[in-house]
Amino acid sequence: MNRPISRQIFTAIRLHHTGKRPVYLQLADALLALIKKEQLRPGQKLPGSRDLAEWQQINRITAAKAYEELQTQGWLESFVGRGTFVARHLPTMQPNPLQPTHTASSGETAGFSVPALAYLAARLPLVTGRLHLDDGFPDPSLAPLKELYRAWRSQLTRSGLYYKFGSYSRPEGPELFRTAISNYLNDTRGLNTSPKNILSVNGTVMGLNLVCNGLIEPGDVIVSGIPGWGRAEQNFLHAGAKHIGVPVDEHGLVTEELKKICRTKKVRMVYVTPHHHYPTTVSLRIDRRLELLQLAQEYGFIIFEDDYDYDFHYKNRPLLPLASADDQGMVIYGGSFSKSFSPAVRIGYLVASENVIQHLASVRMLLDRQGDHILDNAMAEILNDGTVQRYLRKTLAVYKERRDFFCDLLQRELGEFVHFTIPEGGMTVWTNFAEHINLETLAQQASQKGLYISDGKVHQYPGYRTNAIRLGFASSTKEDIAASIAILKSLLKK
């Protein structure tokens, strides 16, 4: 095929000489678009670079480079003495579609089907206001971020760079980190671990996802408390598990209800946040803790213990984890530094029997060959030199003071609209609002005044409705807490 091509096709091309993309690449893009639209067909001869340059009022070298670019990519072919042609081997670019064509561009909608899974539709709310009574985040201005940065930077200047940067390492995490975490947990949580019991993960969500990928089969039964943590429940459903919720009261997960389920169904895993149940912040009472461990041994199910904010308990000493009393290897213990440092710091760990850690490390390699060993080692350094421990002692006092200030102000200014129990620990107050208050409307109105609060939707379940939300106090100064309460008061009393 060597039909002449209308000059008009090429003169219609518009190039932007002040744009960031080089002109020759703009021209190549335009020619490629003509080929894909079949306005330039396989085997057709293109005008010479001199003619194309004259029509576009560009340098001939620029036109030649555009041809060369497309030739390199296989769209054009050139023959000495004959000229440049659209490659003859190209297939038909626009065959008759087997399905209705998409109206949106490929940048918006894929040409293949994407499963619409309801449990994946939920998105984390973004805190955009200057003021925030959030889900229970720490105050990053208190965190030892400078010390962490110095430790991280020192990793880049020491010897052994090949083993840090030039090769892959252990998927379970570097030895320095695993040893530091093991010692830290043994000292502070009464665990009896070695580095072989530790797996480095990028936060608790990743750890839970690994467990679901590595230990849960489609159809397995997973039990957790209602209300609970939606992100965990989404992982259960994505693994194909059957999720069963059991009630949570003022003493935590109702183990008597769990026992009834175990008698009729084979339970594979129970997910719990026993120290401060999410979202209600209540602690699992000692008799229920012991019964949960006994049930796990009797019925052979995994306990996934998510201890997301162990370090912040204000009434006496923190309750030791279930894992500290587990002598049968039934508990997988997960924690992170996201709640103590910042949600942006993705450093976490799983603790389990050695064979479980080895298995989960192998599963992890399918997703993530290894974690950020530089960051892990930096965290190990500030654990080993006591920086983390000093920071936690300091912030414990600060957060307790903020809790007391917040709860006093909440009761004094909003007592006629809310009911709550002062939490023994954690960074939020589970706050029940009067039934006539629409939390979605309240959240929208607060946002307009620069205050973020939850609208409560994440805590609603079929058969379970509550007009309650978590109001986080730890990330705000006293001044910001007072300003936030003042906004809520103005909205509720108008």
Residue-wise pLDDT tens for the chain (494 aa)? 445 577 888 988 999 988 889 999 999 999 999 998 888 989 999 999 999 999 999 999 999 999 999 999 999 999 988 999 999 988 865 555 545 555 555 678 887 888 888 877 776 777 777 899 998 888 988 988 888 888 888 887 766 665 555 555 788 888 999 999 999 999 999 999 999 999 999 888 999 999 999 999 999 999 999 999 988 999 999 999 999 999 999 999 999 999 999 999 999 999 999 999 999 999 999 999 999 999 999 999 999 999 988 888 887 777 889 999 999 999 999 998 887 777 777 889 999 999 999 999 999 988 877 767 788 888 899 999 999 899 999 999 999 999 999 999 999 999 999 999 999 888 999 999 999 999 999 999 999 999 999 999 889 888 888 999 999 999 999 999 999 999 999 999 87
* 451, 406: one domain: yes
Show the DSSP H helices in 115-161 as ranges: 145-157, 161
Predicted pLDDT of residue 159: 65
Is the domain of 341 the same as that of 195? Answer: yes
Domain boundary among 386, 402, 437: 386
Quote the pLDDT of residue 2. Answer: 47
Q: Which residues pair with 198 in a beta bridge?
A: 351
Q: Is residue 448 part of a domain?
A: yes
Same domain? 222 vs 283: yes
Residue 494: count other Cβ atoms within 10 Å of its Cβ.
6
Instruction: Mark which of 336, 365, 386 sits at the end of a domain.
Output: 386
pLDDT for the residue 375 = 85
Judge whether 214 lies within some domain. Answer: yes
Cα distances (Å, whole numbers) of residue 341 to 88, 143, 286, 409: 60, 5, 29, 26
247/190 same-domain check: yes
Query: What is the extent of the structural domain holding 484?
Result: 131-136+390-492
Do 441 and 299 fall into the same domain?
no
Question: Is 357 inside a domain boundary?
Answer: yes
Q: Are residues 271 and 331 in the same domain?
A: yes
Residues 407, 381: one domain? Answer: no
Contacts 24+ apart (CB under 8 A), 290-293: 290/325, 291/255, 291/259, 292/253, 292/255, 292/258, 292/322, 293/322, 293/325, 293/326, 293/330, 293/331
Burial class (CB in 10 A: 0-12, 13-18, 19+), 461: middle
- Are 217 and 339 members of one domain? yes
- Per-residue confidence (pLDDT) for residue 119, from 0 to 100: 78
What does the pLDDT read at residue 93?
58
State the DSSP H helix or E strand holding residue 306, giving kind and residue range, or none if neither.
Answer: strand 302-306
Residues in Cβ contact with 141 at an 8 Å cutoff, skipping those fewer than 6 apart: none
Indicate if 364 and 452 belong to the same structural domain: no
208 & 288 share domain: yes
Inside any domain, residue 102: no
Decide: 85 and 45 in contact? Cβ < 8 Å: yes
Specify if 288 maps to a domain. Answer: yes
- Domain presence at residue 93: no
How many domains would you assign to the chain? 3
Specify whether the CB–CB gap between 73 and 86 falls below 8 A.
no
Q: Are residues 212 and 305 in the same domain?
A: yes
Q: Let me know whether 363 and 424 are in one domain.
A: no
Choosing from 360, 386, 412, the residue where a domain stops is 386
pTM of the model: 0.81
The tokens describing 27, both together, are 């021209």
Domain of 293, CATH number, reads 3.40.640.10
In a domain, 73, yes or no: yes
d(CA 385, CA 368): 29
Q: Is residue 117 part of a domain?
A: no
Residue 21's domain is classified under what CATH number? 1.10.10.10
CB atoms within 10 A of CB 20: 5
